[in-house]
Amino acid sequence: MIFKSLCRHAGIGANSYLLDSGTARVVLDSGMHPKHEGLEALPHFEYVEEGTVDSAVLTHAHLDHTGTIPLLLKRHPSAPLYLTPATRDLAIAMLHNSVNVMSSKRIELGMEEYPLFHHEELEELESRFETRHYERPFDLDPAGTLCGTFHDAGHILGSAAITIEGAGKRVLYTGDISFAGHTLLKGATLPEQHVDALIVETTRGAQDRCAKYTRAAEERRIADAIRAVIDRRGSVLIPVFAIGKTQEVLTMVQNFKNKKLIPRKTPVYIGGLSTKMTMIYDRNIKGSRRHYPDFEILQDMKLEVGNRKRRGPIPLHPGCIYALSSGMMSENTASNTFAAQGFIENPKNAIFFVGYTDSATPGARIKAAQKGDLITMDARLPRVPLLCDVDTFDFSGHATREEILAYILKVKPTKTFLVHGDDDAVAWFSAQLKELLPSTEAIVPVPGQEYTIWNYPSHLIMMSHSTEHYVWKHRIMVTAARCHLRSARIRDRRGGASMAQGNERGMQHRRFFRSTFPLREPSACHPQRRWTTAKPRNRPTSLRTRGPYRRTFFCPIHHRARRPIPRGRCPTIITPSLHRGSRRSCGMPRMDNASRVRCAHLPENAPRRPTGSSWCIR
């Protein structure tokens, strides 16, 4: 197993990583760097040959992890994208918004390469977004050599860490995680058994949290600060990320009103992309682990969201709370524009930061400035004096460095890849692991360099990408053999033969097919693969057969090709049919002649099925 970082720049942004087992290639995330433009904001896609990736995994919908997913999928047309259902909804909305942003930059900055993709391309790629739920294993490659399992990462709605297993080894990629959880969402639930390799974020490695910190005390502190600003007829601006932090802040504000910590009639404004993302949060209530499972933000709170009839800037009124994106107050965002239009020049107002801000953004410049300093909010506009109050509150969506370190010590990985962190953050983790866990190899991956996690057994390397079609041909032959065996045994038992005769006939078929088709190597999901007609994993419930023949088999050829399914047809499964007058016709041609089936899938000396049995491709 080889690990390679595809990040163009070290640190946070444009996160993308490759796992290559020799039999399968999986790309983890594909983000866009927030501090760069054009091609400099993309991962190093050229490090992976086009069309050689078996699948991609998206851990959550923030732009630094999902921003270039369309470009990745276009380079690898046969690769599906695995993600959670909530992440799918959020990512699609985020990517469509990214098209709009890039189109604006094309005009304002004269960047001819923008937009990097279009709305129509996104709509075509959505069919390759395959959702998987938490704690349910699924194959990451067609041959089943790698198996993935999502775990709730607690970062934002739908965020996931993923365990990848193969050849008896285990790799865990955390993505962005939060063990303590938030006001709205519960914390991460990661496995605690040993892993061979851990790919872990180090975002807060350089930030030391006070030993006396408690979330309840921090919430009370911000509630008191909001109350003080409102009492003096000022307003509060809380820069938030559209996904995650907006919904957390709104939930906190509602709790403050219910506890009478702030006036119940205090107007709350949200703007930008936050409204659409909050709607998705409300729509995915049942699919997430929440502290308030019945709380719908837009329905239960009286928010000023700026309906479509009202155009223009968000109005500035005293005694209001403004939760506007983005959290770093980047140029051309709602929070930046609102602050520059007189907000920070009013000493009655206040700006409260509740999340991470990059050192090169206007938000970081405001946090580092003193009252009276001139602040550059946008390079195209004159600087404005900072006269309002500024404070920072610790409601980070990332786990603290102590929590991540404790988890590393618990799982005791053989190798630890330190990613998604600035140089000083990565250095802190490296020093701590060298002292507290010398048995692990702490690695700071260099983009483009390959790192060996383990040597994959040569007898499990069944194919290369150039010979993949041969393996698929073998798999469909094995699938046909299983169906042939089952139909023959059922026919013998139902055609008047005794139970003993039926069992003996079935054993003859079983011995023949075991000798004709060697049992393929165990898959990651099923280490002890046997000749069986067990129900396959992830079978769509809407495709069940009726009557006693409920067991279906995926056709790997059609499933791999991912062709569009015509109306009334389903080319993804093969089912044995022993009756001809099926009420549920699939529209695909039946192959009633047993000799045709034998020529198409089975060798010439295969036992002939009883007369009257048939194959139906459904």
Residue 183 reports pLDDT greater than 80: yes
Region at 22 (left for phi over 0; alpha for psi -120 to 50; beta for the rest): left
* 418-441 mean pLDDT: 95
For the ranges 268-282, 427-441, 469-483, the maximum mean pLDDT occurs at 427-441
Pairing state between β 389-392 and 25-28: unpaired
pTM assigned to the model: 0.74
* 300-325 mean pLDDT: 77
H helices present in 109-214, as ranges: 119-125
Torsion 296-297-300-306 (CA) sign = negative
Task: Read off the pLDDT band of 456 (50, 70, 90).
Answer: low
* 76-81 mean pLDDT: 96
Say which amino acid occupies 335.
Answer: S
Question: Angle of helix 468-494 relative to helix 499-516, nearest 10 degrees?
Answer: 170
How many CA within 13 A on the CB side of residue 341?
14
Phi/psi for 439 (5° steps) reads: -75, -20
Tokens 């939060």 belong to residue: 178
CB of 55 within 8 A of CB of 82? Answer: yes
* 55-71 mean pLDDT: 96
Q: Tell me the per-residue pLDDT of 529-568, one tens digit each, with 9 for 90 and over.
A: 443 333 444 444 444 434 333 333 333 433 333 334 333 4
* 149-175 mean pLDDT: 96
H helices present in 52-109, as ranges: 63-66, 69-75, 85-108
Q: What percent of the chain stands above pLDDT 90?
A: 57
Q: Which residue has the higher pLDDT, 384 or 600?
A: 384
Task: Read off the pLDDT band of 378 (50, 70, 90).
Answer: confident
Task: Read off the pLDDT band of 14 (50, 70, 90).
Answer: confident
CB of 134 within 8 A of CB of 150? Answer: yes
CA dihedral 543, 548, 549, 550 (to 10 degrees): 40
Residue 234 reports pLDDT greater than 80: yes
* 399-409 mean pLDDT: 96
Residue 63 reports pLDDT greater than 50: yes
Residue 467 reports pLDDT greater than 50: no
Closest C-alpha to 249, from 313, 180, 297, 203: 297
Tokens 């008047």 belong to residue: 496
Task: Read off the pLDDT band of 257 (50, 70, 90).
Answer: very high
Residue 266 C-alpha from the chain's centroid: 36
- Average the pLDDT over each of 330-334, 541-545, 562-566, 592-596 and give the range with the smallest value: 592-596
Class of residue 615 by CB neighbours under 10 A (exposed 0-12, middle 13-18, buried 19+): buried
Residue 613 reports pLDDT greater than 50: no
Residue 34's pLDDT is: 79
What secondary structure does DSSP assign to 578-617, as a single string? S-S--SS--SSPEE--HHHHHHHHS-TTSPPPPTT-EEEE
Residue 265 reports pLDDT greater than 60: yes
Residue 44's pLDDT is: 95
Interatomic CA distance for residues 485 and 507, integer angstroms? 9
Residue 155 reports pLDDT greater than 90: yes
Residue 172's pLDDT is: 98
Residue 508's pLDDT is: 59
Interatomic CA distance for residues 82 and 191, integer angstroms? 20
CB of 580 within 8 A of CB of 614? Answer: yes
Residues in the chain: 618
* 7-14 mean pLDDT: 82
Determine if the peptide bond prior to 115 is cis (ω within 30°).
yes
Determine if the peptide bond prior to 326 is cis (ω within 30°).
yes
Identify the bridge partners of residue 20 per DSSP, sorted by sequence position: 2, 25
CA distances from 349 to 18, 48, 306 (A): 47, 51, 21
Residue 46's pLDDT is: 94
Class of residue 388 by CB neighbours under 10 A (exposed 0-12, middle 13-18, buried 19+): buried
Residue 315's pLDDT is: 87
Closest C-alpha to 282, from 303, 309, 306: 303
Residue 251 reports pLDDT greater than 70: yes
Closest C-alpha to 553, from 618, 508, 600: 618
Q: What percent of the chain stands above pLDDT 70?
A: 72
CB of 174 within 8 A of CB of 201? Answer: yes
- Name the 3-class secondary structure at 425: helix
Task: Read off the pLDDT band of 19 (50, 70, 90).
Answer: very high
Residue 323 reports pLDDT greater than 50: yes
Q: Tell me the per-residue pLDDT of 185-209, one tens digit each, with 9 for 90 and over.
A: 999 999 999 999 999 999 999 888 8
| Angle (nearest 5°) at CA 217 between 211 and 219 | 125
Residue 282's pLDDT is: 93
Q: Tell me the per-residue pLDDT of 90-129, one tens digit each, with 9 for 90 and over.
A: 999 999 999 999 998 898 888 889 999 999 999 999 999 9
Torsion 242-245-249-250 (CA) sign = positive
Residue 130 reports pLDDT greater than 80: yes
- Average the pLDDT over each of 162-166, 301-305, 326-330, 604-608 and give the range with the smallest value: 604-608
Class of residue 14 by CB neighbours under 10 A (exposed 0-12, middle 13-18, buried 19+): buried
* 462-489 mean pLDDT: 40
What secondary structure does DSSP assign to 555-576, as a single string? -HHHHHHTPPPPTT--TTEEEE
- Token duo for residue 594: 């047993």
* 361-389 mean pLDDT: 91
Residue 509's pLDDT is: 53
CB of 481 within 8 A of CB of 602? Answer: yes
